[in-house]
Amino acid sequence: MTAPSITLTRLDVQRLERLIDSLDETLPGVIALQTELDRAETLVGHDEVPADVVTMNSRVHCREESSGKDYHLTLVYPQDANADEGKISILAPVGSALLGLKVGQHIDWPAPGGKTLKLTLLEVESQPVNGGDCAF
């Protein structure tokens, strides 16, 4: 599995750690998210994050390499997830895979059924200006 270096905001890490604390820590999505938080190499303030880095509530354009299919997704907390609107939960495999990525990076991520998704981040279309809303 390819795991590029990632940058996270301190605010996202605090909120996501509270989310993890509120859930069953043995759930696969929770384990994957904790793994991502643990491997973050850079922590910045939400007002210091580069414009090309995926944060919570970012809208992104990415490509799944094996199919060539493009996706426009918004990375959200579980209660805001809505696949029909492209709102992907941070607890979904693709959600935790995208967190902290920088434009141009790609990641191999295990998907249901034993497949491996090869995602390339093409663009961060928007980031929340104040860290975004959160119930956690």
**Predicted confidence pLDDT, tens digits, the chain (136 residues):** 457 789 999 999 999 999 999 999 899 999 999 999 998 989 999 889 999 999 999 999 999 898 999 999 999 999 999 999 999 999 998 899 899 999 999 987 667 788 887 889 999 999 987 655 554 4
CA distance 29 to 72: 21
- In this prediction, residue 2 carries a pLDDT of 55
Residue 130 pLDDT = 60
CATH for 7-126 is 3.10.50.30
pTM of the model: 0.87
Exposure string for 86-108, b = 16+ CB within 10 A, e = fewer: ebbbbbbbbbbbbbbbebebbbe
CA-CA distance, 90 to 136, in Å (whole number)? 13
User: Which 3 state secondary structure label does DSSP give 93?
Assistant: helix
Q: What angle do CA 18, 136, 37 make, to 5 degrees?
A: 40
106-112 LR contacts (CB < 8 Å, sep 24+): 106/2, 106/4, 106/65, 107/1, 107/2, 107/3, 107/4, 108/1, 108/2, 109/1, 110/1
